[in-house]
Amino acid sequence: MSTPRPDNPARTARPGGTWGCASLIVRASDFSARNLTIENSFDYVGNLDSPRFQPIGPNGLQAVALMLDQGADRSHLVDVDLVGHQDTLFVDAGRSLFRGCRISGSVDFVFGAGRALFRDCELQSRWRPGKPRQGYVAVPSTPAAQDCGLVFEHCRLTREARVPDASVALGRAWRPGRTFADGKYGDPDVLGNAAYLSCWMDAHIDPVAGWDAMAYTARDGQRVMLEPLDARLYEFDSRGPGAARSPVRRWLDAEQAAAFSPARVLAGWEVAA
């Protein structure tokens, strides 16, 4: 996810980074999909065991299934399976609504800067051999001036059979690098926003930490961590064996949760049934 966007994102025999690996890229408004599968079938687990690529970004294993890129808006997906491992779903632009979808992945598998509402979806964490931290679900890069980012309503957080208890984070906040007049560093105008509202969580969700920190490059060139409590990462009415309260799992009250209404998340876009 830290890979710079290439001028020409054409596919090659080498890993293309986040913006060069997607199975499907949407750059237009009013995209819709129903009752199908969008998959990036890159052999993630096989390449952990026997690496074949030079690293790009943190590990060169980005494999986006669906990217909602600049120009996308009012994207509507119903009963769609989105299948991948690292970076499965990149919702980086516009407004989007996912209803009854199943999204599977491991590392940062729902991420980006867009306004996205997930209703009655399944978020399945996949197994990564040899990794104590099996993965991260929601990784927003929401502009600080934007009031809503990735919002999950009445969703189910599930796992593959080999994913251990307490091994997956609800997410972490991504501060991507941006080029400024004085250099390239983590964009200070980005402050991730994600909320889980009345979601059921299996025991693979870390009951104590809940959310993890994520590194970015500061203006002085140092690598620093964006801590969960320094971003906008919330829960309300979480349920199931993975639901817990801790000092770093911030729970909203009912009035605060109401601020993440569909009308507000989708900024006035009304979607027909």
Give all strands (DSSP E) within 12-91, no chain letters. 24-26, 32-34, 37-39, 66-68, 75-78, 81-83, 89-91
Question: Per-10-residue mean pLDDT for the chain, 273 residues long?
Answer: 44 61 95 98 85 58 93 98 97 98 97 98 96 97 98 98 98 96 96 98 96 96 96 98 94 97 94 73
Report the pLDDT value the prediction gives residue 10, as an integer from 0 to 100: 40
**Catalytic residue IDs:** 87, 108
With respect to residue 13, please indicate whether it lies within any of the assigned structural domains: no
The three-state secondary structure class of 124 is: strand
Residues whose CB falls within 8 Å of the CB of residue 216, separated by 6 or more in sequence, listed in order: 174, 175, 176, 177, 185, 186, 223, 224, 225, 226
Report the pLDDT value the prediction gives residue 169, as an integer from 0 to 100: 98
With respect to residue 35, please indicate whether it lies within any of the assigned structural domains: yes
With respect to residue 237, please indicate whether it lies within any of the assigned structural domains: yes
Q: How far apart are CA 157 and CA 103, in angstroms?
A: 10
Do the strands 95-99 and 115-119 form a parallel or antiparallel pair, or are they unpaired?
Answer: parallel
Report the pLDDT value the prediction gives residue 59, as an integer from 0 to 100: 57
Stated pTM of the model: 0.91
With respect to residue 33, please indicate whether it lies within any of the assigned structural domains: yes
Print the domain residue range for 88: 27-265
Residues whose CB falls within 8 Å of the CB of residue 100, separated by 6 or more in sequence, listed in order: 78, 79, 119, 120, 121
With respect to residue 67, please indicate whether it lies within any of the assigned structural domains: yes
With respect to residue 12, please indicate whether it lies within any of the assigned structural domains: no
Q: How far apart are CA 62 and CA 71, in angstroms?
A: 22
Beta bridge partners of 33: 77
With respect to residue 15, please indicate whether it lies within any of the assigned structural domains: no
Report the pLDDT value the prediction gives residue 62, as an integer from 0 to 100: 84
Report the pLDDT value the prediction gives residue 1, as an integer from 0 to 100: 53
In the chain, % helix, strand, coil (3-state, to 5) comes to 10, 35, 55
Report the pLDDT value the prediction gives residue 196, as an integer from 0 to 100: 98
The answer to whether the CB of 57 falls within 8 A of the CB of 36 is: no
With respect to residue 2, please indicate whether it lies within any of the assigned structural domains: no
Q: How far apart are CA 248 and CA 211, in angstroms?
A: 7
Looking at the structure of the chain, the number of domains it has is 1
Report the pLDDT value the prediction gives residue 197, as an integer from 0 to 100: 98
Which domain CATH number covers 183? 2.160.20.10
